[in-house]
Chain A
Amino acid sequence: MSSVLYDTPGPRAKRRNLILSVVFAVVLVLALWWTWQTMSDAGQTEGAKWTPFVEGAAWTTYLLPGLGNTLKAAALAMIIALPLGAALGIARMSDHKWVRVPAAVIVEFFRAIPVLLLMVFANQFYSDYTGIESDSRPLYAVVTGLVLYNASVLAEIVRAGILSLPKGQTEAAQAIGMRKTQVMTSILLPQAVTAMLPAIVSQLVVIVKDTALGGAMLNFTELLNARKTLAANYANVIPSFIVVAVIYIVLNFILTSLASWLESRLRRSKKSTGAVLGAEEVADLNAPGEVVGVHGADPGARAGGGTAAAQGDGRTPH
């Protein structure tokens, strides 16, 4: 394996790389050994701490219902946030100032504040002003928080998708006498939606990860919260953390793979005239105050020869 950053290793470089590999491996093994030792001192490596995961009791009673709630909250949040986000995104591009400015303020405001704040607020709001039962209140609060935040991120995704379409699309539609609404609904949106699909799926990863906040802070019985009850029963703190982490990793890996599959598929097919928005574009949209459509305009630009062999997919932490 060679890269532009270093020469193809000769005999000396090969020896040096081998020594470095061995040293690094020794450090890794020592770290793993210490982890294992401390775990067995705490009784976390005993077979009895792991058997619940093999026998299925832990799954049917705790983990699967928890995972179900995680997915339910994520799906609900996405389904509600999509139309809201589309409406906000289109409103932000309106010709009327009194529509455009409030939409922009809403979008920038909700992107600037933490999801946890929104969830905590929604929880208290529902408790003070509505008759939602305390059992289902956490779900409502989590979904509300996620919707408020993600609708504004999706609004930016929609806006970036529409802005990435060539100007000729609008001009041609206007030339054949279409009204503004018609241009948007029959020409721009259908093309933008296909271009936005990978970005929307990438945003699902963010949503799934944020549901865990509800589990920790609002006692919403999702996966992380189910782990707590599970560990209280079997006293298997570390095994339960490992299993839950693996579930999240697999779930998010599937979503990320789906997003990049869609991205490459849409980039190959020529159904839309716009740029395909991938994970990299979404990354920028999760932070407020960022100019939209910087990379979106020309996906070919970053495919050009870079120094490192690999291409990062720069997501923002969520």
Chain B
Amino acid sequence: MFDFLEGYDVLGAFWTTVQLTLLSAVGSLVLGTLLAAMRVSPVPLMRGFGAAYVNIVRNIPLTVIIVFTSLGLSNIFGVALGAADDFDTKFFRLAVLGLSAYTATFVCEALRSGINTVPVGQAEAARALGLSFTQVLTLIVLPQAFRTVIGPLTNVLIALTKNTTVAAAIGVAEAALLMKEMIENEAQLLLIATIFALGFVVLTLPTGLLLGWLGKRLAVKR
């Protein structure tokens, strides 16, 4: 019954999906935190840049961004991310870059609303002790903000997992691309689709449950 699986590396494709997800998650977390810090910083130019970046990038479809990393960044600007000869690695890295740049805007907005939930007294007390803006943010406000936004960030991570399929648009050999190839060549349409759908359910549901539990445990009780 499962003969058609021969010759296809389904697990390998899902492993690429997992790698795309994890690397982009780290990338977007770093970039998103930087953007959030910029958006609440005392320097007007940085605030403006942060706001402009978030509002522009968030409103462009991810597909457009991913296709641009290949046709624009790679072909016109010559960005190869250290893998000019190895096409598979290059497009994988470009996809991670595109996914991180896009997801960072959502991380930034989630963090910013998290910063909002930290009581005013916390920052006021920190300033009264003579802490600088960077110290107030990194020692007092952000640690509390992160703990309250684990829930929203989990949703961002799950959406990111699903969004990695867009990398298929530039030929990264992840799950969606393999599924497209398989259903075009094999006859078992429903069976193949079910396998891939269940693969994503297996990836997303435990993430939601695990991080949801973690979020409740780590939430700052007020």
The answer to whether A binds B is yes
Contacts of A307 in B (CB 8 A): 115-120, 122-123, 141
Contacts A4-B123, A216-B63, A317-B160 given; does A112 touch B201 at CB 8 Å: yes
Within 8 A of B (CB), among A149-179: none
Closest to B130 in A: A7
Q: Mark B19-39, 1 if CB is under 8 A from A, else 0.
A: 000000000000000000001
Interface SS of A by simple majority: helix
Complex Cα gap A20–B151 (Å): 34
Closest to A18 in B: B43
Contacts A237-B72, A316-B159 given; does A109 touch B201 at CB 8 Å: yes
Contacts of A13 in B (CB 8 A): 42
Contacts A289-B205, A306-B115, A315-B106 given; does A6 touch B61 at CB 8 Å: no
Contacts A20-B43, A314-B113 given; does A224 touch B63 at CB 8 Å: yes
Contacts A21-B43, A283-B155, A287-B155 given; does A7 touch B127 at CB 8 Å: yes
Complex Cα gap A217–B174 (Å): 14
CB of A3 within 8 A of CB of B40, answer: yes
**Could you tell me the distance in whole angstroms from the C-beta of B14 to the nearest C-beta in chain A?**
12
CB of A209 within 8 A of CB of B62, answer: yes
Contacts of B58 in A (CB 8 A): 315
Within 8 A of B (CB), among A217-238: 217, 224, 231, 237-238
A210 contacts the other chain (Cβ, under 8 Å)? Answer: yes
CB of A39 within 8 A of CB of B76, answer: yes
Complex Cα gap A216–B55 (Å): 23
Contacts A21-B43, A24-B45, A287-B154 given; does A314 touch B106 at CB 8 Å: yes
Q: Mark A1-28, 1 if CB is under 8 A from B, else 0.
A: 1011111010001000100110011001
Interface residues on B, range: 35 or more
CB of A286 within 8 A of CB of B155, answer: yes
Quick one: which of B62, B136, B200 contacts A112, CB cutoff 8 A? Answer: B200
CB of A5 within 8 A of CB of B205, answer: no
A128 contacts the other chain (Cβ, under 8 Å)? Answer: yes
B163 contacts the other chain (Cβ, under 8 Å)? Answer: yes
Complex Cα gap A241–B65 (Å): 9
CB of A113 within 8 A of CB of B169, answer: no
CB of A117 within 8 A of CB of B196, answer: yes
Complex Cα gap A312–B152 (Å): 12
CB of A213 within 8 A of CB of B63, answer: yes
* 22 sampled A-B residue pairs with Cβ under 8 A: A1-B42, A4-B123, A4-B127, A24-B43, A109-B201, A114-B162, A116-B168, A116-B176, A120-B180, A224-B61, A224-B64, A238-B76, A241-B72, A244-B64, A249-B56, A249-B59, A256-B59, A305-B120, A306-B118, A314-B106, A316-B156, A317-B160
| Sample of 20 more A-B contacts, CB < 8 Å, known A1-B42, A241-B68, A248-B59 | A5-B123, A13-B42, A38-B76, A109-B197, A113-B201, A120-B179, A121-B183, A211-B61, A216-B166, A224-B64, A237-B72, A249-B56, A253-B59, A256-B59, A283-B155, A289-B205, A290-B208, A305-B119, A305-B120, A312-B110
Q: Give me the interface of A with B, judged by CB distance under 8 Å.
A: 1, 3-7, 9, 13, 17, 20-21, 24-25, 28, 35, 38-39, 42, 44, 108-109, 112-117, 120-121, 124-125, 128, 205, 208-213, 215-217, 224, 231, 237-238, 241, 244-245, 248-249, 252-253, 256, 280, 283-284, 286-291, 302, 305-318
